Amino acid sequence: MASDRPNIVWLLTDHHAFAHHLSLPGPKPEIPTHDRIAADGVRFDRAYAVCPLCTPARASMLTGVYPHKHGMALNNGDCGARREFDRDARLFSHYLRQAGYRCGYFGKWHCGVRRGPMDYGFEGWSMPGYGLPYKTDRYAAYLAELGLPQMEVDVDWHENTPSRQGRHVLRDDPHEGFHMNAAGIMTTPVETHEAYFVTHMANQWLAERARDGQPFCLRVDVWGPHQPHFVGEPFAGSIDPASIPEYPNYAHGLADRPQMHRDFRDRWTRRTWEQWAFVLARCFEHVRQVDAALGRVVDALEELHLADDTLLVYTADHGDILGAHGGTFDKGALMVEETERIPLAVRWPGRIAPGQRSDALLTHMDIVPTVLEAAGAEIPPETDGRSLLPLAQDPAADWRDDLMCQHHGHLGELRFQRMLRWGDCKYVAHLRDSDELYDLKADPYELTNRIDDPAMADVLAEMRRRLARRMIEHDDNAPFAQGLRSGKLE
């Protein structure tokens, strides 16, 4: 029997290879924990990152507003963006605590270095900035508790410094940036991976809540499957790179794309598909490994007899390009489907019917009002997201028919963009660069930019009108936004 005040558990992966990797033939980045939640609830097939970049997306998933409102529009304060929340900022934890909830947060933060989740009413454990958990005292205590060795890995790929391939103990490695752009096989048990460390702490907190009976909300934010793609048994070596077919837009020349797409491609080493397939295999194994770690939280809910009284959410902060769009890597400032599309599944026994699929257009920003509504908490009027509960409980419920997402740039470069999804089409408006228009039904891999196609002129005009309306509706009125609207949308 579902409670009027459910517990809430929100599982969040980072930099998740998802679209279109799950729909291609050959090996896939399988996510059985996500699928298990979806089978008992609803799977949202057109969920998008409000911004396909860590800090902006995460800040929107804490506030329920667009990046242009919370101000943390780029990672780490790049290009003059806000670096931290204000000390008195009200995140969703504030409203849940007012409603009598106890709030837990374990794992990655990446929303500032001076203040973290514990400054905003959460209990648990996190780190300033992006964070490197393998060097922390808390991780060392976890290893001691379970009798595990320090994590060691045989690095078999390193994008930036191939000479750094070989065996490394992560705690002892002096290079703070070593965790980026690498892959390898763990020589230590899989439980030494950060995702197992984070979920272990979360499960201990769940056990305490099961004893005290107070309603709670728990966020579990693992660092993976963001690179490094370090995988252990039984996942390591489970995918043969030779069995991964060439990605449909891997060889795209990007001639019809904005210049910034070509600039980003040229940052990376040019690789054959066989070389990319090796990295994809490690990535897909890593996705499965992280998903398995999150599955332990779902198992704990059942073992503690909490599952029937818990609203459970599984999603990601953004996607991953990884070999797509001309053989690129990471995400850059590209608003392609591979960076934008994310997994999203919601389960609430007794309140959401099992086995549903929805093609509604939404973002993970909508999760904030969803959990607040479920808890009976106040939803602040400035919230840009919409609660998913009416849609999850009635597929015919009124919902938005178009969706705006945002990007302000990455890697120290300002790349101001606004994206609109409507029907089968996607339009990306660029400030000081050419625009993009795709028919995703006919061209899901965005092989043909139809921005100059006369046959799409009416569609383009309508999408520009809709985007201008969304920007006005959400007070997207900073000087760059006004310049974009006046130059292209009005």
Is the full-model pTM beyond 0.95?
yes
At 61-90, the pLDDT tens digits run 999 999 999 999 999 999 999 999 999 999
State the average pLDDT over residues 102-108: 98
HSE, side-chain direction, 13 A CA sphere, residue 81: 31
Structural contact between residues 326 and 251, judged by C-beta atoms closer than 8 angstroms: yes
Provide the mean pLDDT of the chain.
95
State the average pLDDT over residues 31-36: 98
State the average pLDDT over residues 202-215: 96
Q: Report which of residues 468 and 159 the model is more confident about.
A: 468
State the average pLDDT over residues 22-36: 94
Question: Which residue type is seen at 31?
Answer: I
Look at residue 1 and tell me whether its pLDDT is greater than 50: no
Angle of helix 367-375 relative to helix 54-63, nearest 10 degrees, comes to 20
Cis omega (within 30 of 0) for bond into 229:
no
Q: Report which of residues 31 and 174 the model is more confident about.
A: 31
- How far is Cα 339 from Cα 454, in angstroms, rounded to an integer? 28
- How far is Cα 69 from Cα 90, in angstroms, rounded to an integer? 13
pLDDT at position 424: 98
Residue 300 backbone phi and psi in degrees, to 5: -65, -40
pLDDT at position 23: 86
pLDDT at position 42: 97
410: which strand partners? 413
Structural contact between residues 422 and 463, judged by C-beta atoms closer than 8 angstroms: yes
Confidence of residue 3 (pLDDT cuts 50, 70, 90): low
Confidence of residue 175 (pLDDT cuts 50, 70, 90): low
Q: Report which of residues 421 and 181 the model is more confident about.
A: 421
State the average pLDDT over residues 311-340: 96
Confidence of residue 374 (pLDDT cuts 50, 70, 90): very high
CATH code that applies to domain 7-401: 3.40.720.10
State the average pLDDT over residues 172-195: 86
